[in-house]
């Protein structure tokens, strides 16, 4: 399949504000971009992928092995890619995805300590090597993200939310390594500020980095 279009991903630790920012951004992108925009997410975004999401995040499955978890994320990603992302890119659309391979490298490679290179290689098999054109990294200290989740979600914590602070610190450190290794693709945004400010900076970065998309 020919890949045209533009692929934008949004990353960050749990509670960074990805969903909130994307909810604010999407109408503005639809208004200002000269190509159709779709918003999707991982794990999920397609029927089979959402079923896999339910299995991965189910807090009852405490026995899940780290490599099983990594393979499930990659399987969910493959189906989402084939059904949703690649067809939209082939139609020359803009795909905005809440999390992608960087999340697996950070959470499974770094957080679960099964190897960032190994997880990347496994995901290259799943994606055929598709990389985002641009990644917005919403940067918040682990404690800030977790505090936001604990404050607002009451008792609805998924299996990953329930991980230790040390796990989330390893995830954050792996993200910092991804940032250092991909300075052109991954742009860090200080997401500790008010939501409106964070959204405005995301828009400004999109404008500066992808000027051809703007009407």
Binding site for ligand ATP (CB under 6 A): 12, 14-20, 148-149, 152, 191, 194-195, 198
**Nearer Cβ to ligand LXEULUCI (57/210):** 57
Yes or no: say if 198 and 137 are a contact pair by the CB < 8 Å rule.
no
| Residues that contact ligand LXEULUCI, how many (by CB under 6 A) | 11
**What radius of gyration do the chain's Cα atoms show?**
16
Nearest to 175 by CA among 145, 210, 215: 145
Q: Which of 6, 40, 49, 104 binds ligand LXEULUCI (CB under 6 A)?
A: 104
Least distance from C-beta 207 to ligand LXEULUCI, angstroms? 25
Least distance from C-beta 8 to ligand ATP, angstroms? 16
Asked if the peptide bond before residue 43 counts as cis, ω within 30 degrees of 0, the response is yes
Nearest to 170 by CA among 112, 93, 115, 98: 112
Site track for ligand LXEULUCI across 109-148, x = CB under 6 A = ----------------------------------------
Least distance from C-beta 103 to ligand ATP, angstroms? 9
- Residue 6 binding partner per list ligand ATP, ligand LXEULUCI, none, with a CB distance cut-off of 5 to 8 Å that depends on partner kind: none
**Nearer Cβ to ligand LXEULUCI (31/156):** 156
99 exposure class (CB count in 10 Å sphere: 0-12, 13-18, 19+): buried
């Amino acid at each position: 399949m020919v890949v045209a279009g533009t692929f934008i991903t949004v990353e960050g630790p749990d509670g960074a504000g990805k969903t909130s920012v994307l909810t604010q951004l999407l109408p503005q992108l639809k208004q200002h971009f000269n190509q159709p925009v779709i918003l999707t997410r991982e794990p999920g975004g397609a029927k089979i992928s959402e079923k896999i999401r339910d299995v991965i995040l189910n807090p009852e499955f405490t026995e899940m092995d780290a490599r099983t978890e990594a393979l499930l994320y990659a399987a969910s990603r493959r189906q989402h890619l084939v059904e949703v992302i690649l067809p939209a890119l082939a139609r020359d659309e803009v795909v905005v995805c809440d999390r992608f391979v960087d999340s697996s490298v950070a959470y499974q490679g770094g957080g679960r300590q099964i190897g960032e290179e190994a997880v990347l290689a496994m995901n290259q098999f799943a994606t055929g090597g598709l990389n985002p054109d641009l990644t917005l990294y919403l940067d918040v200290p682990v404690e800030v993200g977790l505090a936001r989740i604990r404050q607002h979600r009451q008792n609805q914590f998924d299996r990953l939310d329930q991980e230790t602070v040390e796990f989330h610190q390893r995830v954050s450190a792996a993200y910092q390594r991804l940032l250092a290794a991909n300075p052109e693709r991954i742009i860090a945004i200080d997401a500790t500020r008010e939501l409106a400010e964070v959204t405005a900076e995301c828009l400004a970065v999109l404008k500066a980095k992808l000027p051809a998309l703007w009407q």
